[in-house]
Chain A
Amino acid sequence: MTEAHAVPAVEAAALAPAGRGLWSDAWRRLRRNRAAIAASVVLALIAVAAIVGPEVAPHAIDAIYWDRVDAPPDFANGHYFGTESNGRDLFARTLFGGRVSLALGIAATLVSLVIGVGWGAIAGFIGGRVDAIMMRTVDILYALPFMFFVILLMVYFGREPLLIFVALGAVSWLDMARIVRGQALSLKRREFIEAARAAGTGTGAIILRHIVPNCLGPVIVFATLTVPQVILLESFLSFLGLGVREPMTSWGVLIADGARRVETAWWQLVFPSAFLAATLFCLNFIGDGLRDALDPKDR
């Protein structure tokens, strides 16, 4: 780890001798973690299915079959997961819903990443009064019942996909800010920061080029764990009828519809729920695996 701090970590990964740098070490440890690798494979399969599945499925997502409303799964007619209450193919819709859920999860995580990393790095590096004010703000925001505000936002300002992921991203950056601040605090006393200062690098450039890249490990781990949280929040909203709107769909929307008909049409709840649960399961495993791989102290 020590030599990796002399230069930004990303460059260090390229410069370090094979098998010695932080990143190649982490990669080696991660490859040994069978659960994390299996989870990555499953997640990749789900992602590929969500991306190409709706295009190659036997039925279109919005084709309505009036003669097959609430039909159980049947391989003969291509409704692998059955149909829903409007006679649309559940297989295609589940995969399409996955596309929306995953995209929203990743987009919202990126929003929280940008806000959280920026906020934490600035607070931690500048320190003093700026730090006190910024982190006190985080403390106050932390105590707010955010889910209720998001619900209000959705009720009153419509259910635009853009608004949904900005709102979800905006509520999940607080932990990220705290983590990055902690890292920035310990980094700013290091010699290579002093060297950068002595060389006349400005504060903004130091934060961007030296602080942020060196926080990357914990940030990646936390981002991996944020994606499932955001997907969960999105499906929570959809469940209350506040998520994405028709003709779009998401796992949350499908689950909500399925839950209403669980007594007569179990497949409408079980298939979307299985996809959602498998995705959350995999992301949690990958997050844990990355943490073990990137943080050897904690093993």
Chain B
Amino acid sequence: MLNYTIRRLVGAVPTLFLIIAISFFMVRSAPGGPFDRERVVPAEIKANLERVYHLDEPLWQQFLRYMGSILQGDFGPSFKYKDFSVTELIWQGFPVSAQLGGAAVLLSAIAGVALGALAALNQNGRLDGILMAGAMTGIAIPNFVMAPLLTLVLGVYLSWLPVGGWGDGGLRQATLPVLALALPQVAYVARLTRGSMIEVLGANYIRTARAKGLPERLTITRHALKGAMLPVVSYLGPATAAVITGSVVIEQIFGIPGIGRYFVQGALNRDYTLVMGTVIFYGVLIILANLLVDLAYGLLDPKVRYD
């Protein structure tokens, strides 16, 4: 397992290199620079600025310099947020984004599995129909539509919850953004769980468990659920990626001070270093999430061997 982890981490190196290279050259080859404003800056000052940030060097040299500083954990200074390094900005936004995203992933796993299992146990019954119609709706309504709709109903008409802001991430403030971010994923997970649960319930080992007189409740919780969780666990990788992407929009809608907001602001302001920093950070997160999911899969499924 340690070998496998190391091999996967080594395998992630070319991916990471590509992420850095693509974002670097895409951002740099774009027309317009971070010091282009409506106000024309005198040529000497602009030259000075570009020299300070090494923008006057050939592109390949800048790339090597950037790679070198990343290897030392330094994403450089932000062009727009003066006095802040990109690393500082990311670490400032990360706890908030992590709370939001973590809560959303957790909610989609727990609620999704519970609802999917419930539907499977009532296969083709009325509850199953209602749950699956709800899941289809959840998949068809994207999170950026869900967010204003939830705000309208729970925040404006009923005035139960605040419509924006994050504060200290308390339950009241976090509920709407987390719900909006999680609901489409809850729907996916529920559909997945229902499918695999139905398959598992027909398996021989469930028949054995029932035949030996194990109470139905234990048969479900100890045997069926574990088997039915496997596809769900492997979906958690893509789900994490979807939640991370979705959080960009959700943070924008609710005005949450996370990394997603820095990414959008950075992209719009041509804050080169901030954009590259956030993209690379997200890339690392997604790679790590996929690795964790694969390792967890191995723990759950004895048929999987890492060698």
Give chain A's interface residues, CB within 8 Å of chain B. 140-141, 143-145, 147-149, 151-153, 155-157, 228, 232, 235-236, 239-240, 255-256, 258-259, 262-263, 266, 269, 273, 276-278, 280-281, 284-285
A145 to B249, CA, bound (A): 15
Instruction: Please measure, in the bound complex, the distance between the C-alpha atom of A266 and the C-alpha atom of B151, giving whole angstroms.
Output: 12
Asked if residues B23 and A239 are in contact (CB atoms below 8 Å), the reply is no
Residues of B within 8 A of A236 (CB): 142, 144, 245, 249
Closest 9 CB pairs of A and B: A156-B30, A259-B148, A280-B140, A281-B140, A143-B15, A262-B148, A277-B140, A155-B267, A147-B245
Q: A143-B290, A148-B282, A281-B140 are in contact. Are A276 and B145 (CB under 8 A)?
A: yes
Asked if A239 contacts B286 (CB within 8 A), the reply is: no
**0/1 interface trace, chain B 72-112, chain A, CB 8 Å (1 if under):** 00000000000000000000000000000000000000000
Q: Contacts of B141 on A, CB cut-off 8 Å?
A: 273, 277, 280
> Is there a chain A Cβ closer than 8 Å to B149's Cβ?
yes
* A143 touching B287 in the complex, CB below 8 Å, given contacts A149-B26, A151-B267, A157-B30: yes
- Per DSSP, chain A at the interface is helix
Q: Which residues of the partner chain B approach A285 to less than 8 Å between Cβ atoms?
A: 136
CB distance from A171 to the nearest CB of B (A): 11
B27 at the interface (CB under 8 A from A): yes
Q: CB-CB < 8 A to A144: which residues of B?
A: 15, 18-19, 22, 283
Most chain A CB neighbours (cut-off 10 Å) among B27, B145, B253, B268: B145
CB-contacts of B261-296 with A (<8 A):
263-264, 267-268, 270, 275, 278-279, 282-283, 286-287, 290
CA distance A285 to B140 in the complex (A): 10
What CA separation (Å) do A277 and B248 show in the bound complex? 21
Q: Say yes or no: is B12 at the interface (Cβ < 8 Å to chain A).
A: yes
Closest residue of chain A to B246 (Cβ to Cβ) is A236
Report chain A residues within 8 Å CB of B59: none
A281-B156 contact, Cβ under 8 Å, with A143-B287, A151-B267: no
How far, in Å, is A56 (CB) from chain B's closest CB?
Answer: 27
